[in-house]
A and B are shown apart, each in its own frame.
Chain A
Amino acid sequence: MEGSKDMPPSAAEVAAAERKYCAAMREYNELEEIFRNAQASDADMDTLVMFNNSRDEARSLARAAGIAFEEAKRDCHAAEAADRAASATSYRIAEQNTDLLDDPAKQASVKPPSLAEKTLYLLLHKRHREHIPGDLEEEFQTFILPKFGLRYAKRWYWFQVIRTIVANHPWVSRFIAAGGGGFGLYQIAKGVFQGFWGNEFDEAGQDPNEEHR
């Protein structure tokens, strides 16, 4: 294929590959006919060998051109399908956001999932109950909702709530890692004790004071 390696072939490039393939096939068919005529007319061995070699060469070229054409057609169709899928996704997001983007007041009226907000409020430490939900709601309203649409924005908010809870209470992630059971219960009991009344832990679940000891 003549197009660059990074870019999928355009429709014009596919058409050019098809023309090349057709020309190669025509040449091969002509040489095949010449070879058969030579056989029928009892031509001498040297002539037959020469025609046979030419025909084989033309067949190889036609085969290579055929492969190139098929690859170009496939890549082009794949690129077109990807474009169509991307357009459909953009259209869906745009369709979801049409009402929101037209009316800023309406956009501001969209709130994060209330259950997620309540869960976050309950599981956050008192000193973070004002700022963390505020930061998440601002990011939800300012960055995520206009860019990705309501459905994605709600999923994003839930995901952030879960991550925030895990970051603030490492016993949650330990429970998940332990998979429940007796060991899990022990981990919870230990985690609850440390998480609520003990030290603060960082995201990796390590005691932040440990690195400075």
Chain B
Amino acid sequence: MKLKSLLTMSRASLGEFEHIVLAAVLRLRPDAYGMMIRREILDRTGQDAAIGAVYTTLDRLQAKGLVSSHIGEKTPERGGRSKKYFEITASGIEALQVSVERLTKMWDGVLRPKPAGGV
């Protein structure tokens, strides 16, 4: 029982980029594939993530069971290559909620420091 709860906690904790990618998959549902996820991150956060980094993170999220994937259609503008669509799972939504709650709790009641470093 203890081991199970430890495993659940480990799966639920998300790194910053994992959090961003997972949120992008949730926003783009049901049209979330590599390029769209990259564009969504770029448009919303200004972070120009490498497509390779996005896929590495998606693989990791899939290994944790937070996203699932399926192969889509082949299109001419992709040089006849197929798309790989990602879908957030119930555990993924839960992990995202837990992550947001943790951040909110940590920020609750804290005066945000100024960018220059002063408080």
Contact = CB atoms under 8 A, between A and B. Distances in A.
B102 interface: no
A136 B77 contact: no
Contacts of B82: 130-131, 134
Interface size range on A against B = 20 to 34
Interface residues of B, number: 28
Contacts of A203: 17, 49-50, 52-53, 56
Nearest to B82: A130
Contacts of B52: 124, 128, 132, 163-168, 203
B2 interface: no
Given A133-B81, A137-B81, 7 more contacts: A131-B84, A133-B79, A160-B50, A164-B50, A164-B52, A203-B52, A208-B56
Interface in B77-102: 77-79, 81-84
Interface string B32-63: 01110011000000000111110111011000
A131 B55 contact: yes
A131 B81 contact: yes
27 contacts: A108-B76, A108-B77, A127-B59, A128-B52, A130-B84, A131-B84, A132-B34, A135-B33, A135-B38, A137-B77, A138-B35, A138-B75, A138-B77, A141-B77, A142-B77, A163-B50, A163-B51, A164-B50, A164-B52, A166-B52, A200-B60, A202-B53, A202-B60, A203-B52, A203-B56, A208-B15, A208-B60
Interface of B: 10, 13, 15, 17, 33-35, 38-39, 49-53, 55-57, 59-60, 75-79, 81-84
Given A160-B50, A163-B50, A139 B79 contact: no
Q: 5 closest pairs, A vs B, by CB?
A: A134-B81, A167-B52, A164-B52, A203-B53, A135-B35
Contacts of A211: 13, 15
Contacts of B79: 111, 133-134, 137
